[in-house]
């Protein structure tokens, strides 16, 4: 065996490798020094200036101790940082293939741009997809397909207690706040919504003057900060809410429980990013961080949530009220369902946000590893409402990486009533996926508060692109519905779509996904027993799991005999642990005992 593989500390026979390494490391610096002296000899001021600056930079690199790369590779090390800064652009424009979805593929972005610009989106010479790969899905066309005249598909949102139902498109603008998006972007989006007759969600940053200027239909989203209707201490102000909610432009009210980008986490808009306009819109003071807490202060139990949405419904004059969430612990959503059944008061709609969402900035761990993906979250909500026998009382919307007619048709086939898109409409107003939304340096003026950058976004032309994108996407949706032989997307069913499995077999989505039977949860007869288990864990009086009920249900299961003293409102104070002064949480499954500190430590 060669000595190089057995001797952990080999000694070179001569010093040439070391000398070669030194020469390579300092070669750029040496070249700059030579350039400087050449300028002196030739009395060339350009060479002297360039060489002198290079020498100064090289000396600084050698003297500093913060960056080891610059110390070992003076001047040359800066090339690495330049390439690192431009890596996303290099990858996007030179290396990325048309189907690589990170997070949206070049083909997806091109489709939006083409439809927004009202140019042909037709491609030639066959598909770029591998139709035989695992997970590939396709619609099953009908022999009696026919073109549709009406392509403006709409639904009516509003339940029994709603006095002002809203007639809305099946494709709308998802929640994006003024503050995260520029004023010009908000203007373009709302003007486009007005032109196209669809609805614009305000996001939790309140209703700004830019939402109001063109009069497009609005869904007013209320987050945990209650921006636009808050007291000085950040609590909900019903008087302020009522004054704004009765505005005819506000068509629906949406309570945000969580969002896909960072479910379970609040947010902070740093004080240095708060302009006078943002402060006025959100009703927050200048010079202070604008904080969105991780949970609501207006309610702390499922029953209180039901009471809260009824309060909003009455204050708004009977407009549709619902809530948005990214599904986390399933029994918490089921607890809300139990509360609405027992109180006989139902939201007019629920929007399910997927963990793949993310127009706002979020920690990598939250983007990648917290929250349920959209399809899984939607199916849990849909199956729960069906299993509880109340699916017909509530409209369901979905949001998360939806940009094409196929995306909309697929989700409606699974049971959704309408779809929202955030990043799709961002592309329509000019976003190039530079992924610099949180830096205030958006190159297209979409996601920035820099007044000079956002001037580049021309509102009239971008508004027309928003309307074009909506119209042409609905036209694509109509083509799919017509090909399947139907009249409206609401007629689509899971058995209209086939999916290829990892072993090459093909299944209809009606057989691939689980769909519960109507009313099955009410007598614990769901075919998937995990639904029965989560249902019995749901407690309408608390967002915490009723573990004793689960143990009773599973008395003959393998968990029998394990510790059942799970954290409940009897063992710790407050449903959200807000008033905890320290103590010990007791696990019920893995028999763990963990000390915790007070909230202020």
- pLDDT tens digits, one per residue of 374-387: 999 999 999 999 99
* 357 vs 512, residue with greater confidence: 512
Token pair for residue 571?
A: 């063992």
- CA nearest neighbour of 253 among 194, 311, 333: 311
Q: What is the CA radius of gyration of the chain?
A: 29
Please report where in the chains the tokens 């989700």 appear, as a residue.
411
Query: Does pLDDT of 92 surpass 80?
Result: no
Instruction: Name the β-bridge partners of 168.
Output: 155
Q: 157-169, pLDDT tens digit by residue?
A: 999 999 999 999 9
Query: Does pLDDT of 120 surpass 50?
Result: yes
Query: Does pLDDT of 583 surpass 70?
Result: no
Query: Does pLDDT of 593 surpass 60?
Result: no
Please report where in the chains the tokens 């390579």 appear, as a residue.
24
Kindly provide the b/e burial profile for residues 122-153, where b requires at least 16 CB atoms within 10 angstroms of the residue's own CB: eeeeeeeeeeeeeeeeebeeeeeeeebeebeb
pLDDT band at 588 (very low <50, low <70, confident <90, very high): very low
Q: How many beta carbons lie within 10 A of that of residue 425, not counting itself?
A: 31
Token pair for residue 492?
A: 């689509």
Q: 66-90, pLDDT tens digit by residue?
A: 777 788 788 888 887 777 666 666 6
Cis link prior to 103 (omega < 30° from 0)? yes
Ranges 73-77, 190-194, 477-481, 588-592: which has the least confidence: 588-592
C-alpha 85/C-alpha 11 separation (Å) is: 39
pLDDT of residue 354: 86
pTM: 0.82
pLDDT of residue 96: 62
The residue-averaged pLDDT of 120-140 equals: 83
Q: How many beta carbons lie within 10 A of that of residue 535, not counting itself?
A: 25
Residues 444, 448, 451, 452: is their CA dihedral positive or negative?
Answer: negative
Instruction: Name the β-bridge partners of 219.
Output: 201, 252
The separation between the first and the last C-alpha atoms of the chain, rounded to the nearest angstrom, is 59
Q: Which helix (H) or strand (E) holds 167?
A: strand 166-169
Ranges 234-243, 264-273, 448-457, 539-548: which has the least confidence: 264-273
Q: How many beta carbons lie within 10 A of that of residue 561, not counting itself?
A: 7
Residue 374 φ/ψ, nearest 5 degrees: -60, -50
pLDDT of residue 534: 95
C-alpha 492/C-alpha 392 separation (Å) is: 16
> Three-state secondary structure along 421-486?
ECHHHHHHCCCCCCCCCCCCCCCCCCCCCCHHHHCCCCHHHHHHHHHHHHHHHHHHHHHHHHHHCC
Token pair for residue 419?
A: 């779809």
- CA nearest neighbour of 87 among 66, 68, 104, 102: 102
Q: Determine contact, residues 323/254, Cβ cutoff 8 Å.
A: yes
pLDDT of residue 28: 87
Q: Determine contact, residues 553/566, Cβ cutoff 8 Å.
A: no
C-alpha 115/C-alpha 107 separation (Å) is: 12
pLDDT of residue 436: 74
């Amino acid at each position: 065996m060669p000595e190089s593989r057995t001797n952990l500390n080999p000694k070179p026979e001569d010093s040439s490798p070391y000398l070669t390494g030194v020469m390579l490391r300092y070669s750029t610096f040496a070249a700059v020094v030579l350039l400087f002296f050449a300028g002196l000899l030739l009395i060339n001021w350009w060479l002297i200036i360039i060489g002198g600056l290079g020498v100064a930079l090289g000396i600084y690199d050698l003297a500093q101790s913060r960056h080891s790369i610059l110390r070992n590779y003076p001047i040359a090390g800066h090339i690495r940082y330049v390439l690192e800064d431009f890596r996303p652009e290099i990858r996007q424009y030179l290396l990325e293939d048309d189907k690589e979805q990170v997070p949206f593929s070049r083909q997806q972005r091109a489709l939006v741009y083409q439809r927004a610009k009202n140019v042909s989106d037709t491609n030639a010479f066959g598909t770029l997809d591998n139709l035989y790969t695992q997970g590939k899905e396709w619609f099953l066309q009908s022999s009696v397909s026919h073109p549709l005249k009406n392509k403006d598909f709409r639904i009516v949102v509003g339940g029994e207690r709603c006095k002002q139902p809203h007639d809305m498109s099946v494709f709308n603008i998802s929640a994006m706040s003024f503050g995260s998006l520029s004023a010009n972007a908000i203007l373009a989006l709302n003007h486009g919504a007005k032109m196209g007759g669809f609805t614009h969600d305000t996001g939790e940053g309140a209703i700004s003057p830019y939402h109001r200027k063109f009069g497009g239909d609005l869904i007013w989203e209320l987050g945990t900060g209650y921006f636009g209707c808050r007291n000085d201490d950040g609590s909900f102000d019903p008087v302020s809410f009522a004054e704004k909610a009765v505005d005819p432009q506000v068509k629906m009210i949406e309570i945000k429980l969580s969002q896909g980008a960072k479910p379970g986490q609040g947010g902070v808009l740093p004080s240095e990013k708060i302009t006078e306009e943002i402060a006025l819109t959100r009703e927050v003071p200048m010079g202070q961080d604008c904080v969105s807490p991780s949970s609501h202060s207006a309610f702390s139990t499922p029953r209180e949530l039901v009471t809260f949405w009824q309060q909003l419904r009455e204050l708004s004059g009977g407009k549709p009220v619902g809530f948005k969430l990214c599904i986390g612990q399933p029994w918490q959503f089921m607890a809300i369902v139990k509360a609405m059944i027992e109180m006989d008061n139902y939201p007019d709609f629920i929007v399910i946000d997927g963990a793949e969402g993310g127009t706002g900035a979020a920690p990598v761990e939250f983007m990648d590893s917290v929250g349920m993906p959209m399809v899984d979250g939607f199916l849990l909500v849909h199956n729960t409402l069906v299993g509880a026998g109340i699916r017909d009382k509530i409209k369901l919307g979905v949001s998360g990486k939806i940009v094409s007619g196929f995306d909309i048709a697929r989700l409606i086939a699974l049971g959704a009533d309408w779809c929202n898109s955030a990043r799709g409409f961002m592309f329509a107003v000019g976003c190039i996926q530079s992924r610099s939304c949180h830096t205030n340096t958006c190159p297209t003026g979409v996601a920035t508060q820099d007044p000079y950058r956002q001037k580049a976004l021309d509102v009239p032309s971008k508004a027309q692109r928003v309307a074009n994108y909506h119209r042409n996407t609905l036209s694509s949706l109509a083509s799919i519905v017509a090909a399947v032989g139907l009249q409206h997307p609401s007629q689509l069913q899971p058995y209209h779509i086939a999916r290829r499995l990892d072993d090459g077999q093909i299944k209809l989505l009606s057989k691939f996904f689980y769909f519960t039977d109507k009313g099955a949860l009410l007598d614990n007869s769901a075919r998937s027993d995990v639904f029965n288990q989560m249902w019995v864990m749901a407690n309408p009086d608390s967002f915490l799991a009723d573990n004793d009920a689960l143990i009773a249900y599973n008395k003959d299961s393998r968990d029998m005999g394990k510790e059942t003293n799970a954290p409940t409102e009897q063992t710790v104070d407050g449903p959200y642990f807000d008033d905890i002064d320290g103590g010990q949480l007791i696990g019920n499954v893995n028999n763990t005992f963990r000390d915790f500190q007070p909230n202020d430590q």
